Chains A and B, each alone.
Chain A
Amino acid sequence: MLTDTFLLFRQEIMLALLLFFLVLYKLGRARPAAHLLPIMNWLLLLNLVVGLLFYDWQGVLFNGMYRTGELIVLEKNILNLAVWLISMQAYGWLRQHRHAAEVYLLLLTSLLGMFLMLSSGHMLILYVGLEMATIPLAAAVNFALSSKRSSEAAMKMIVSSAFASALLLLGISFLYGITGSLWLAEIPGMLHATPVVLFTFLLVFSGFAFKVSAVPFHLWTADVYEGAPVAVTAYLSVVSKAAMVFVLVTLLYSVFAPLEKTSHAVLVVLSLLTIITGNLFALRQQNIKRFLAFSSIAQIGFILVGISGYSQTANASVIFFLLVYVFSNLAAFGVVGWISTQTGKETIADYANLYRHNKTLSWILAIAVFSLAGVPPTAGFFGKFFLLTAGASKGDYLFISVAALNMVVSFYYYLRIIKAIFMEPGETGIAALSLPFWPQLSLWICTGGMLASGLLGVIYQYIYSISPSH
């Protein structure tokens, strides 16, 4: 019994141990020693491996407050993988940083919160996990200590996420009022499409729309992404977003299953709005971090298109897309982050003629951009194809045509990056940059992931086989 508890709870326990280690490490040290970063990279790899062991165990703990299963373990592993990759990429930034241990503390606390949220069987845990996932992040955004924009971004983030949490909390209390229960398993049986339930649904949905930065709740995203240190931006746009989408899918597909018709309509409208807005703003960005922020808004739009399919395929496609998104976006952020920490250059114009001196970095960034745009043979193509296929299963072709044509718009701005790297005659270009072992490893893993996860059908097949059927 006790072993069972430990094994089911192993990912959270592992993270808690890491957090204790960091606290103890920090005690009595003004600044971390140089070996902290390699140690953390190894420990996070261990964390990932621990998650991969016993991957098919399932069960509930604490009277059903906590539940886990193969799919939830997979989702946590995707997050673990992303955090490991980000940690390796952050090497260039953190090795100079006085408070590297604190950055890890904040990011891992937030990750622990996400794990609880993913495993929650009760609204209370869900909410506590959500807050635990968000508040440390706002602090982490502030960790470019000398930058004013970073503090401003942190302030923006905390205020807007507090607002989102308030909406969500109001929605949860309404749910309690309507159904008399906060157990996720009990709620769907007691929901009927009455006006007050629909209002409640909208409140909860808005709360999550804020967190995933879907339109019209996207306004905080660009400023926060631009102000935050690149590693934190990567964390926000990949880990945090993926976790929120995982939970949103669970909520929509199980708790709010009785409202499928309404939520489908909401998803159709919001997804198109999100794609179009994200695209239109991404078209004119000059700063590459802001650019990635808006392009990630458009990506969220495509994910919502997939969610609107309400099927096993849709569920699997969303998770598969997020896995691909982890690789593609982190490859892009890895290159952008390395260039930004080494040269301070962050605008698209600065990337002119990057290829001249940095061939490998250019190709990795190009593959990442192609994967984000959805060009084969990268995995992004498969991800987008499956998302739109899932969305089309309801037979709404006008919807899919608009989404598909928006992909063409997104090609324009993704190709702008390619154009800058390969075609524009930058006078000097960015000087040749050398990559230390850790960021290099991270980028190669991302590249491998982008090329392999699409061409190998087994990954999608595995995700499909463990997705709940509808």
Chain B
Amino acid sequence: MNLSLLVLLPVCTFLVLLLLQARFARQVALTGAVLQLLVCGYLLWQYLAVRDLGNTAPMLFETDQVWYAPLQIHYHTGVDGIAVAMILLTALIVLTGILVSWTIDKWQKEFFLLLLLLSAGAYGFFISLDLFTMFFFLEVAVIPKFLLIGIWGSGRKEYSAMKLALMLMAGSALVFVGLLGLYFGAGSFDMMTIAKTTLSQTSQSYIFIFLFSGFGIFAAMFPFHTWVPDGHASAPTAASMFLAGISMKLGGYGCLRVAVFLLPQAAHQYAWAIILLAAIAIIYGAFATMMQTDLKYINAYSSVSHCGFVLLGIGMLTETSVNGAVLQMISHGLMTALFFAAIGMIYSRTHTRMVASLGGLLKAMPFISTVFVIAGLCSLGLPGLSGFVAEMTVFMGAWQNPDTWYRVATVLACASIVVTAVYILRAAGKTIMGPLPENYAGLPDATWNEKTAAVLLVAAIVLMGVAPFLVTQLVHPGVENMMRQVDKLVTLN
């Protein structure tokens, strides 16, 4: 199938929305998102069908068109299992994000336009095999976030929006310098070509720092995670879901696909630093969450902690751990989106997100409360939900790395799960259980759109938790290909 369809569909929806009157905005956006999900489902089906036929090419559905010939810039697209999984995740989160923003009252049309632009950037990023195209789409996805947070956000929204935009732009600037290094080192922007060239150890180690820290900012790598709490807390619900579910994945995917895949020797060289920073993020994030009193901040800091697992998995550089990192990206995307959706639903009814002033919500809104608890349980890694599968795989993969210090880091990271249980259970207990404050007594439960969104996300989480092989089957060949490349180049030298 033609992958450009994945970008063209949001762009077309964008154009239709632009031309139509504002009162049709949400219907058009929803139709676009549903179609997009169907197209992504079709992509999955096609992908599996081709793989079943025994096609082991690293990338499928490749198209290659010259865009800027003098600079060897191509519009080169293709997907492997990792990309397909990310695309499905994006489609699901876009759809649910649109559903939970159904009743947004300010500038509805503009809101959905920006959401669509952001999603087009994300799809484009995941299908790109050319670094220029990839960078282009990465930046397309940044500015809508600034506007979404700054216009529709709450609290210190302008400050948070500016902080997020500047930090992500700084990340792109670092990525940009790294890309130029790759371009002049290998003479091409094409990832598959660069993967075949071996750059010298020195240039690899310079370029890697730029690329990994650049994408690391997107993936909330410690100490560049500071945009996450403010950004998430100030953003409107859908934007929070997009930030956690899509934007942070752009970073993780970039770290893996660009930094590690193209610069394997440097990845081995700096593995200790990645693991150190990841372990700090995991533990620091968990303890920082314990201190939070605002539900959104709780989820944002726990995101820092959970995204640490992604980087930990990448840093360990074993096949299982990288597999786990990808699973964790997907699981974290789904679970955080669900969590933010639930928080958004609670906030829109009670107008507060402070744990202290909430309580007994299970009596007033059983559906929302249940969703909230499911998201929490997934976050603390309850078996049967996706979080357990992902974290377990990361730990198993990490343990395979025989280095003693790495194992120490793994043990410490494991220990953070206890802290996670503490803050999740405390927050859930305080909000859901106990006496219901009087002024919350008559609050309505979820509406149809919120229910649909929540059910979709819960279904995905449970499916992944109960039948993890469905996802592993998809992701594993991609990871295997990538790790074969990484190991081959490393043993060569």
Partner of B177, one of A401, A457, A464: A401
The answer to the question of B170 belonging to the interface, with a C-beta cut-off of 8 Å to chain A, is: yes
The answer to the question of A422 belonging to the interface, with a C-beta cut-off of 8 Å to chain B, is: yes
Nearest CB on A from B144, distance (A): 10
Known contacts: A405-B170, A407-B169, A411-B169. The answer to whether A419 contacts B150 by CB under 8 A is yes
The answer to the question of A147 belonging to the interface, with a C-beta cut-off of 8 Å to chain B, is: no
Nearest CB on A from B317, distance (A): 26
The answer to the question of A395 belonging to the interface, with a C-beta cut-off of 8 Å to chain B, is: yes
Kindly report which residue of chain B lies nearest to residue A410, judged by CB atoms: B169
- A404 near B176: Cβ-Cβ < 8 Å: yes
With A and B bound together, what is the CA distance between A193 and B321 in angstroms? 59
- A415 near B176: Cβ-Cβ < 8 Å: no
Residues of B within 8 A of A385 (CB): 132, 135, 176
We find that the number of chain A residues with CB closer than 8 angstroms to chain B is 34
- A418 near B68: Cβ-Cβ < 8 Å: no
- B68 near A461: Cβ-Cβ < 8 Å: yes
The answer to the question of B206 belonging to the interface, with a C-beta cut-off of 8 Å to chain A, is: yes
Partner of B66, one of A418, A424, A457: A457
- A412 near B162: Cβ-Cβ < 8 Å: yes
**1/0 per residue A379-393: CB within 8 Å of B?**
001000110110011
**1/0 per residue B159-190: CB within 8 Å of A?**
00110011001100110110011011000000
Residues of B within 8 A of A397 (CB): 177, 180-181, 206
- A389 near B143: Cβ-Cβ < 8 Å: no
With A and B bound together, what is the CA distance between A385 and B335 in angstroms? 36
Nearest CB on B from A13, distance (A): 34
The answer to the question of A316 belonging to the interface, with a C-beta cut-off of 8 Å to chain B, is: yes
Residues of A within 8 A of B135 (CB): 385
With A and B bound together, what is the CA distance between A292 and B176 in angstroms? 26
With A and B bound together, what is the CA distance between A405 and B213 in angstroms? 14
- B173 near A395: Cβ-Cβ < 8 Å: no
- B169 near A313: Cβ-Cβ < 8 Å: no
Nearest CB on B from A17, distance (A): 37
- A457 near B69: Cβ-Cβ < 8 Å: yes
- B166 near A412: Cβ-Cβ < 8 Å: yes
Partner of A408, one of B68, B132, B170: B170
- B183 near A411: Cβ-Cβ < 8 Å: no
- A404 near B143: Cβ-Cβ < 8 Å: no
With A and B bound together, what is the CA distance between A216 and B162 in angstroms? 31
Partner of B70, one of A375, A400, A460: A460
- B165 near A415: Cβ-Cβ < 8 Å: yes
Q: Which of B122-178 contact A (CB under 8 A)?
A: 132, 135-137, 139-140, 142-143, 146-147, 150-151, 157-158, 161-162, 165-166, 169-170, 173-174, 176-177
Known contacts: A381-B136, A400-B177, A405-B173. The answer to whether A423 contacts B150 by CB under 8 A is yes
Q: Is the interface of B mostly helix, strand, loop or mixed?
A: helix
With A and B bound together, what is the CA distance between A225 and B165 in angstroms? 30
The answer to the question of A370 belonging to the interface, with a C-beta cut-off of 8 Å to chain B, is: yes
Residues of B within 8 A of A411 (CB): 165-166, 169
The answer to the question of B45 belonging to the interface, with a C-beta cut-off of 8 Å to chain A, is: no
Known contacts: A397-B181, A405-B170. The answer to whether A389 contacts B71 by CB under 8 A is yes
- A407 near B173: Cβ-Cβ < 8 Å: yes
Nearest CB on A from B123, distance (A): 14
Nearest CB on B from A404, distance (A): 4
Known contacts: A381-B139, A457-B67. The answer to whether A392 contacts B184 by CB under 8 A is yes
- A461 near B69: Cβ-Cβ < 8 Å: yes
Most buried by B among A381, A412, A457: A457
Residues of A within 8 A of B68 (CB): 457, 460-461
With A and B bound together, what is the CA distance between A395 and B68 in angstroms? 21
**1/0 per residue B62-82: CB within 8 Å of A?**
000011111101000000000
Partner of B71, one of A386, A395, A407, A419: A386
**1/0 per residue A420-460: CB within 8 Å of B?**
00111000000000000000000000000000000001001
With A and B bound together, what is the CA distance between A397 and B176 in angstroms? 11
- B169 near A389: Cβ-Cβ < 8 Å: no
Residues of B within 8 A of A408 (CB): 166, 169-170, 173
- A422 near B177: Cβ-Cβ < 8 Å: no
Residues of B within 8 A of A423 (CB): 150-151, 157-158, 161
With A and B bound together, what is the CA distance between A303 and B180 in angstroms? 18
- B183 near A389: Cβ-Cβ < 8 Å: yes
The answer to the question of A377 belonging to the interface, with a C-beta cut-off of 8 Å to chain B, is: yes
Known contacts: A408-B173, A415-B146. The answer to whether A395 contacts B158 by CB under 8 A is no
- A422 near B150: Cβ-Cβ < 8 Å: yes
Residues of A within 8 A of B174 (CB): 404
With A and B bound together, what is the CA distance between A419 and B157 in angstroms? 11
Kindly report which residue of chain B lies nearest to residue A386, judged by CB atoms: B71
Nearest CB on A from B174, distance (A): 8
- A461 near B177: Cβ-Cβ < 8 Å: no
The answer to the question of A376 belonging to the interface, with a C-beta cut-off of 8 Å to chain B, is: yes
Residues of B within 8 A of A460 (CB): 68, 70
Residues of B within 8 A of A395 (CB): 184
Known contacts: A415-B146, A464-B70. The answer to whether A377 contacts B169 by CB under 8 A is no
Most buried by A among B67, B142, B181, B210: B67
Kindly report which residue of chain B lies nearest to residue A455, judged by CB atoms: B67
With A and B bound together, what is the CA distance between A332 and B260 in angstroms? 41
Nearest CB on A from B151, distance (A): 5
Partner of A422, one of B71, B151, B173: B151
Residues of B within 8 A of A400 (CB): 177, 180
Residues of A within 8 A of B166 (CB): 408, 411-412, 415
With A and B bound together, what is the CA distance between A411 and B140 in angstroms? 14
- A461 near B169: Cβ-Cβ < 8 Å: no
Residues of A within 8 A of B181 (CB): 397
- B162 near A419: Cβ-Cβ < 8 Å: yes
Residues of A within 8 A of B143 (CB): 370, 375
Kindly report which residue of chain B lies nearest to residue A363, judged by CB atoms: B110
With A and B bound together, what is the CA distance between A130 and B73 in angstroms? 38
**1/0 per residue A457-470: CB within 8 Å of B?**
10011001000000
With A and B bound together, what is the CA distance between A393 and B150 in angstroms? 38
**1/0 per residue B191-234: CB within 8 Å of A?**
00000000000000010001000000000000000000000000
Partner of A404, one of B66, B70, B177: B177
Nearest CB on A from B77, distance (A): 16
Kindly report which residue of chain A lies nearest to residue B181, judged by CB atoms: A397
- B139 near A375: Cβ-Cβ < 8 Å: yes
Residues of A within 8 A of B165 (CB): 411, 415
Q: Which of A346-396 contact B (CB under 8 A)?
A: 370, 375-377, 381, 385-386, 388-389, 392-393, 395
Residues of B within 8 A of A407 (CB): 169, 173
- A313 near B173: Cβ-Cβ < 8 Å: no
Known contacts: A418-B147, A422-B151, A423-B158. The answer to whether A316 contacts B70 by CB under 8 A is yes
With A and B bound together, what is the CA distance between A385 and B73 in angstroms? 12
Residues of A within 8 A of B146 (CB): 415, 418
- A422 near B147: Cβ-Cβ < 8 Å: yes
- B184 near A461: Cβ-Cβ < 8 Å: no
Residues of B within 8 A of A388 (CB): 176, 180
With A and B bound together, what is the CA distance between A397 and B183 in angstroms? 12
With A and B bound together, what is the CA distance between A370 and B139 in angstroms? 11
- A461 near B70: Cβ-Cβ < 8 Å: yes
- A377 near B136: Cβ-Cβ < 8 Å: yes
Nearest CB on A from B140, distance (A): 5
Q: Please, could you name 17 A-B residue pairs with CB atoms under 8 Å apart, sorted by A?
A: A312-B70, A313-B70, A375-B139, A375-B142, A381-B139, A385-B132, A385-B176, A389-B183, A395-B184, A397-B181, A404-B174, A415-B162, A415-B165, A418-B147, A419-B161, A461-B68, A461-B70
Known: A415-B162, A423-B158, A461-B68; 12 extra A-B contacts, CB below 8 A, are A313-B70, A316-B70, A375-B143, A376-B140, A381-B139, A388-B180, A412-B166, A415-B146, A423-B151, A424-B158, A461-B70, A464-B70
**Considering the complex of A and B, which 9 residue pairs feature the smallest CB-CB distances, nearest first?**
A404-B173, A464-B70, A423-B150, A392-B180, A457-B67, A408-B170, A457-B68, A408-B169, A376-B139
CB within 8 Å of A: which residues of B?
A: 66-71, 73, 132, 135-137, 139-140, 142-143, 146-147, 150-151, 157-158, 161-162, 165-166, 169-170, 173-174, 176-177, 180-181, 183-184, 206, 210
